[in-house]
């Protein structure tokens, strides 16, 4: 039978109440070590990468909208020019996607382990 987090916590609580602090800590130890390798503290948040990716992304957006006339005209010429919009979409998805991912981590929104 596999034990859920809740089961483990409750069993540990039962041991702790019975004065078996060591067993309780051992039960929780395996569980808590993995998500928090640094010990108590949450792992450091990616402030720097958020800032860097955010800055690149913002610069790219500003550049694009400053030159929207030229860009929209060139990007819609069709044929081989297809790679312009498709490539740009790829570029933004990597840069802006990385920014978004880091931003969510900064806000403390991580997937459940």
- Residues at the contact surface with other proteins, assessed by CB under 8 A: 5-6, 9, 12-13, 16, 24-25, 28, 31-32, 40, 61, 64-65, 68, 71-73, 75-79, 81-86, 88-90, 92-93, 96-97, 100-101, 103-104, 109-112
Full DSSP string of 41-99 = SPPPP-HHHHHHHHHHHHHHHHHHHHTHHHHHHHHTS-GGGGHHHHHHHHHHHHHHHHH
For the bound state, the minimum distance from the C-beta of residue 28 to other proteins, rounded and expressed in Å, comes to 5
The three-state secondary structure class of 112 is coil
For the bound state, the minimum distance from the C-beta of residue 23 to other proteins, rounded and expressed in Å, comes to 12
């Amino acid at each position: 039978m596999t034990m859920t987090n809740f089961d483990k916590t409750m069993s540990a609580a039962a041991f702790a109440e019975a004065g078996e602090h060591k067993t309780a800590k051992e039960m929780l130890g395996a569980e808590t070590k993995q998500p928090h390798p640094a010990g108590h503290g949450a792992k450091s948040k990616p402030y720097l990468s958020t800032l860097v990716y955010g800055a690149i992304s913002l610069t790219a957006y500003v550049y694009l909208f400053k030159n929207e006339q030229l860009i929209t005209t060139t990007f819609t010429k069709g044929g081989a020019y297809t790679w312009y919009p498709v490539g740009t979409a790829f570029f933004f998805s990597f840069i802006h996607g990385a920014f978004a991912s880091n931003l969510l981590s900064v806000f403390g929104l991580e997937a459940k382990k």
